[in-house]
Structure 1
Amino acid sequence: MPKIKILSEDLVNKIAAGEVVERPASALKELIENSLDAGAETISVEAEEGGINFLRVVDDGSGMDREDLAMSIFPHSTSKISKIEDFDTLLSYGFRGEALASISAVSRFTIESKQNGEREGARLHKKTDESNSWDIEPSACAPGTSVTIADLFYNIPARRKFLKSVGTEYLRLVEVITQAGLLRPDSAFSFTYNKKKLFDWKRTPDWRQRVADILGPGAEDMVGCNSGKYEVRVGGFICRPTSGAFNRRKQFLYINGRWVSDYRIAAIIKEAYGVNMPHDRFPVFVLRLDMRPDWVDANVHPRKIEVRFKYTEQVYRCVYRVVQDTLARSGLLPVAGKVVEGDTSAEEFEGPRFVSLQSFPIFEKIFSKTQFSQNVFRSDSATPGITEGGSGRFICKVIGQIRNSYIIAENNEGILMVDQHAAAERVLYEKLKSRVSQDKIQNLLIPKVLHLGASEFSWIVENLPLLAESGFVVEEFGSGTVRILGVPYQLSRKDPGELLLEVTKDVLDSDWSRLGSLEAKLDHLYKIASCRGSVKFNHSLTFPEMESLLGDLERFNLFSCPHGRPVSVLLQWQQLEKMFGRI
């Protein structure tokens, strides 16, 4: 009895589907690419519960007749290629003919299509969940194609349980629509989630306007690049050196119109900025690289998100030179302390300077013997200069502030150096956590209307109840827009729109999806809000402000910031006397 068998067609399709359809967003990507290949000018996406229970894509493309519709769900059935040489001229998104076959194998799948000029369309669906036979019947659908996916992975429970939370899958759907919308301003995109329309990006000839509509505030200041001097044409938009992001989430790269993930090109773009961008920041860019189709191999990844180049070195060199030349022409590369003259208005560039006190021998001794995480605010006897204030009793005498960043004070134990941002951040964090019981919300006299990028808007709308619980009273106010009605009382001095935008971006940059409980999410929000809403480095403080901050630290008995870094360093009197040889 032979042990090796030929697998059934149904099992083969389910196995293959695991490579192409990893999650709802994978299916959405394939369907949107099919729509664009069909010449669609309008693409509408509807989803519920992260796209797991329901996902629909409707377009006004060329559509299919009854015979093509019946063939479309068979593996490796495609209209894009017919022979291996076609890869040398391939410009379409799809070419393998795997997408519809894979999706239909792991979901309750329905597709309707109609060609322009035809009297009626056709509808294709499975007869039963268990069978591999399909029914095709007339349909009164509009011209174009509509694909509906219900209960993804219903027949592969092991695969379904490995999907992430509904919120995470929802954000992945937004990423896919964003990737398509950024490149194709010639097509309109709308997104309806849980029966609520979130985005409606109209067709526009202005690519910069589409980028601004999707990426939100700050995108208008991106620098345009379009160079055909090299072997590769590079076009799109790059950020200014001072506008880098804390992660790579807003890096969008397209090769011959296809979105790809290429960390090497991303690294080369960062290298082109040189020392002009802080080392912990990443360039924001939307770039399209166009070259001869036979220079690119798109058939190296099941989901077509990676490519290989025939002339890798030339492509990388072209990208580097175009980005650097664009920055130079825009007056954004300083040379010998001055800005390069360009054909656009130049602006002064000031990069951050980092000076380490530990690089000086005298401070090496101090830092090697300093004491961290001790209650330096406690003393058994009175300290000269004690004052009484509304925030508690001060046990330190404030001497002053250095570099507009550190508070210097003294008490009976020694000289106290306080990181003003870390200290203010921890105090604000404690006050925000206690807000729930105090119920202190500052209602805005004039509500603040805030226009957002796609990702930020999606997250806020999905988390309105959580924001309200943390003190941010926000409501949806149209596509891509929210209205802020109130903020936590402790944050009322900061611009509410700027604050909410900064908090939202930081949340999206974090491991938000890993936070399970409501308490963990609230705590994470409080940490981010306290960081964004507290006193910053290089900010001058008055003596009363410094005394108030130290008083709050003493009152709350705090030793570290919400991230675990120490807020203060104590140089004991005995250490100081030893350093000067007095003992």
Structure 2
Amino acid sequence: MSIRPLPEILINQIAAGEVVERPASVVKELVENAIDAGASRIDIDLEEGGARLIRIRDNGCGIVADELPLAISRHATSKIASLDDLEAVATLGFRGEALPSIASVSRFTLASRRHDAEHGAALQVDGGRVGELAPRAHAPGTTVEVRDLFYNVPARRKFMRAERTELGHIEEWLRSLALARPDVELRISHNGKPSRRYQPGELYSELRLEQTLGEDFAGQCLRVDHAAAGLRLHGWIALPQYSRASTDQQYFYVNGRAVRDRSVAHAVKLAYADVLFHGRHPAYVLFLELDPTRVDVNVHPAKHEVRFRDARLVHDFVYRTLKDALAQTRAGISGEQLAARGTYDQQSPGVAPAAMPGAGFALARGPAAAVTGGPASWAPRQSPLGLQVADATSAYAALYAQPSPAADAGALTADFQPGLPPASGDGQVPPLGFAIAQLHGIYILSECADGLIVVDMHAAHERIGYERLKSAHDSMGLAAQPLLVPLTLALGEREAETAEREQATLAALGFEVTRAGPGTVLVRSVPALLAHAEPDALLRDVIADLREHGHSRRVDSARDELLATMACHGAVRANRRLGIAEMNALLRDMEATERSGQCNHGRPTWARFTLAQIDRWFLRGR
């Protein structure tokens, strides 16, 4: 068979196979073009889930009438002109393939008018066959109409799903876009009926969070904004207690472009590892900003993926930023209180504050009057009950105090003086309040400023011990234990090359490794704390992580798992009777311990019941 050039229509249809997967792909390409044209309002009209009709209207800059035929030709674009432009792409679209690809598999109409033009123009394309350019009345902006998608490619049309399924894919992509561009108004209709409207607002405001992900997420998320090493990460991460059974609320953007990146997803998963219950997934909306020359967006036909020049740096930056943000979720601090506290500054070593505008953490929203001041201050509130909080806690202390040695009795007397809050001389009530009783030897009951706190004492003590053990080991570093007889480990050739290349990294983790052959390494030392925890399997996992992510937390995770087990065995058990002083000491430790809102396994350690909630139980005030 002789070699011959392909017909232009067939070339476009082959390109459509890469660019146009389903109606949602068409909506994505056309709406991104509208945003690149500077549109502030975009109307999306759909019929039969986009299979019958997709119409995108915008109020952007429009297209010159003479350039309409050029707009539907392959590799024609106004967004790049040189290799330098391609290496620093700042627009959502840039390939110049979308319009001709879509037009080759549909009945396509492109109509547009520049703001300075007297009238618009339109061009029709039927399955790749271009019609004549004709004048048309049109408001400033552009309208693209796509009818009967895949009508001339029956094999592709058969793979389309049900109308509801295709519409769901379109709505999900528009939700993702709405989060990234809250300054653009989006109006969506389906089968002639308005279905959704995203009202415009300020960039990165909480309005779009509520419109897209609901009030639950908006009320239980932590605002993150941190910059260092030429990178800036900002957005919202859900508190650990707001977790999902799937990854349906995970949105990540690079320079405003929604992408999927395994390295970043891995970094987020590691950051939540200590606070999330097994089998659950975090929710987040995160925006990473960096110099466009440090990221390659031209690695996927549909622009779903990117490639970072410094992938290891990005991974570590995302992990450390989120890990430090989640460390602020201490017990006793509700979402609203975190919001009212303001911003947590997180300065990176060697980075001047001026280089990180707005850096820090703050909760996204909540009543501004809930708490004011710094981390060590609480706003006292008078209980609706007749007794002052201090009087009530003193009374309960006397009622539930157990016979104890003189030292313990002295401590109780000092802590619970009549008329004064225990351990406080200024009338302020700590976040977890003051202990009043122990329930069934499992839970601590505490009276706080606005209701009742219930604490799982074993889970809370487990987290406190775990964090102390981690801090102690972090201060000492990972000690290496030499092996009397070096361990010979058989690996694949690429794994052995990774081990040889990453010798310094492995040494910092406690492994002394030298290459002994094409697929063999000698292990001369292992982490001392994990010497009896199958170090050969652990080393294989570490090398696999270094190959895939350029970073590994396997050793730290294995160490943390061992320390968590130690902390669990050392924590107070059920049915152990605690005195009031011991319970209060545990509450104060919880308030001072990072991540104390969850135990080592991700279970909650405490719960708050406000007086308003308790009043509803008993129908008070009705």
What is the CA–CA distance in structure 1 between the aligned matches of 2:164 and 2:124, rounded to whole Å? 29
Q: Which residue matches 2:215?
A: 217
Q: Which residue matches 2:232?
A: 233
* CA pair 72-332 structure 1, distance change in 2 beyond 3 A: farther
Q: Which residue matches 1:371?
A: none
Encode CA deviations 1:434-460: one digit per residue, 9 max, x unaligned. xxxxxxxxxxxxxxxxxxxxxxxxxxx
What is the CA–CA distance in structure 2 between the aligned matches of 1:134 and 1:324, rounded to whole Å? 57
Normalised TM-score (structure 1) = 0.56
Q: Which residue matches 2:170?
A: 173
Encode CA deviations 1:261-290: one digit per residue, 9 max, x unaligned. 123312211210222111211111111100
Three-state SS of the structure 1 residue aligned to 2:146 is: strand
The offset of 1:181, in angstroms, is 0.6
The offset of 1:68, in angstroms, is 2.0
CA contact (8 A) 1:188 1:203 kept: yes
Q: Which residue matches 2:156?
A: 159
Q: Which residue matches 1:205?
A: 202
Three-state SS of the structure 1 residue aligned to 2:273 is: helix
What is the CA–CA distance in structure 2 between the aligned matches of 1:124 and 1:77, rounded to whole Å? 16
Q: Which residue matches 2:322?
A: 323
CA contact (8 A) 1:234 1:319 kept: yes
Q: Which residue matches 1:307?
A: 306
What is the CA–CA distance in structure 1 between the aligned matches of 2:89 and 2:238, rounded to whole Å? 31
What is the CA–CA distance in structure 1 between the aligned matches of 2:34 and 2:105, rounded to whole Å? 21
The offset of 1:149, in angstroms, is 0.5
* CA pair 274-286 structure 1, distance change in 2 beyond 3 A: same
Q: Which residue matches 2:476?
A: none
What is the CA–CA distance in structure 1 between the aligned matches of 2:331 and 2:233, rounded to whole Å? 19
1:133 lines up with 2:127 in the alignment: no
Q: Tell me which amino acid in the other structure corresponds to 1:211.
A: L
CA contact (8 A) 1:244 1:277 kept: yes
CA contact (8 A) 1:59 1:144 kept: yes
Q: Tell me which amino acid in the other structure corresponds to 1:258.
A: R
Q: Which residue matches 1:186?
A: 183
What is the CA–CA distance in structure 2 between the aligned matches of 1:18 and 1:217, rounded to whole Å? 39
Encode CA deviations 1:35-88: one digit per residue, 9 max, x unaligned. 110111001111011100111111111111112222100010001111112123
What is the CA–CA distance in structure 2 between the aligned matches of 1:105 and 1:332, rounded to whole Å? 59
* CA pair 130-143 structure 1, distance change in 2 beyond 3 A: closer
* CA pair 184-130 structure 1, distance change in 2 beyond 3 A: closer
**Matches for 1:18-417 after TM superposition, within 5 Å:** 18-126=17-125, 129=126, 132-205=129-202, 207-221=205-219, 222-329=221-328, 331=330
CA contact (8 A) 1:231 1:318 kept: no
Q: Which residue matches 2:403?
A: none
Three-state SS of the structure 2 residue aligned to 1:274 is: coil
What is the CA–CA distance in structure 1 between the aligned matches of 2:246 and 2:11, rounded to whole Å? 39
What is the CA–CA distance in structure 2 between the aligned matches of 1:123 and 1:332, rounded to whole Å? 62
CA contact (8 A) 1:77 1:97 kept: yes
Q: Which residues of structure 2 form unaligned runs of 5+? A: 345-361, 363-370, 377-441, 443-622
Encode CA deviations 1:101-146: one digit per residue, 9 max, x unaligned. 10000000001111112110111103xx467232211111111111
CA contact (8 A) 2:106 2:127 kept: no
Q: Tell me which amino acid in the other structure corresponds to 1:244.
A: S
Encode CA deviations 1:325-376: one digit per residue, 9 max, x unaligned. 2223454799xxxx9x9857689xxxxxxxxxxxxxxxxxxxxxxxxxxxxx
What is the CA–CA distance in structure 2 between the aligned matches of 1:244 and 1:263, rounded to whole Å? 20
What is the CA–CA distance in structure 2 between the aligned matches of 1:9 and 1:176, rounded to whole Å? 30
* CA pair 236-169 structure 1, distance change in 2 beyond 3 A: same
* CA pair 332-295 structure 1, distance change in 2 beyond 3 A: farther
Q: Tell me which amino acid in the other structure corresponds to 1:219.
A: F
The offset of 1:202, in angstroms, is 1.4
Three-state SS of the structure 2 residue aligned to 1:45 is: strand
The offset of 1:173, in angstroms, is 0.6
**Matches for 1:497-508 after TM superposition, within 5 Å:** none
* CA pair 35-96 structure 1, distance change in 2 beyond 3 A: same
Normalised TM-score (structure 2) = 0.53
The offset of 1:99, in angstroms, is 0.4
Structure 1 residues 174-183 or 129-138, which shifts more?
Answer: 129-138
Encode CA deviations 1:276-315: one digit per residue, 9 max, x unaligned. 1112111111111000111111111010000000000001
CA contact (8 A) 2:44 2:56 kept: yes
Q: Which residue matches 1:493?
A: none
* CA pair 202-7 structure 1, distance change in 2 beyond 3 A: same
Three-state SS of the structure 2 residue aligned to 1:58 is: strand
CA contact (8 A) 1:45 1:190 kept: yes
Q: Which residue matches 2:435?
A: none
CA contact (8 A) 2:120 2:138 kept: yes
CA contact (8 A) 2:119 2:138 kept: yes
Three-state SS of the structure 2 residue aligned to 1:74 is: coil
Structure 1 residues 322-331 or 286-295, which shifts more?
Answer: 322-331
**Matches for 1:541-556 after TM superposition, within 5 Å:** none
CA contact (8 A) 1:223 1:330 kept: no
What is the CA–CA distance in structure 1 between the aligned matches of 2:47 and 2:191, rounded to whole Å? 5
RMSD: 2.5
* CA pair 226-332 structure 1, distance change in 2 beyond 3 A: farther
Q: Which residues of structure 1 form unaligned runs of 5+? A: 348-402, 404-583
CA contact (8 A) 1:234 1:290 kept: yes
What is the CA–CA distance in structure 2 between the aligned matches of 1:332 and 1:119, rounded to whole Å? 65
CA contact (8 A) 2:53 2:148 kept: yes
Identity, in percent, stands at 39
What is the CA–CA distance in structure 1 between the aligned matches of 2:296 and 2:50, rounded to whole Å? 31
CA contact (8 A) 1:240 1:332 kept: no
CA contact (8 A) 1:87 1:294 kept: no
CA contact (8 A) 2:108 2:144 kept: yes
CA contact (8 A) 1:81 1:87 kept: yes
Q: Tell me which amino acid in the other structure corresponds to 2:281.
A: F
What is the CA–CA distance in structure 1 between the aligned matches of 2:308 and 2:329, rounded to whole Å? 30
CA contact (8 A) 1:231 1:315 kept: no
Count, aligned residues: 343
The offset of 1:179, in angstroms, is 1.2
Q: Which residue matches 1:434?
A: none
What is the CA–CA distance in structure 1 between the aligned matches of 2:328 and 2:119, rounded to whole Å? 56
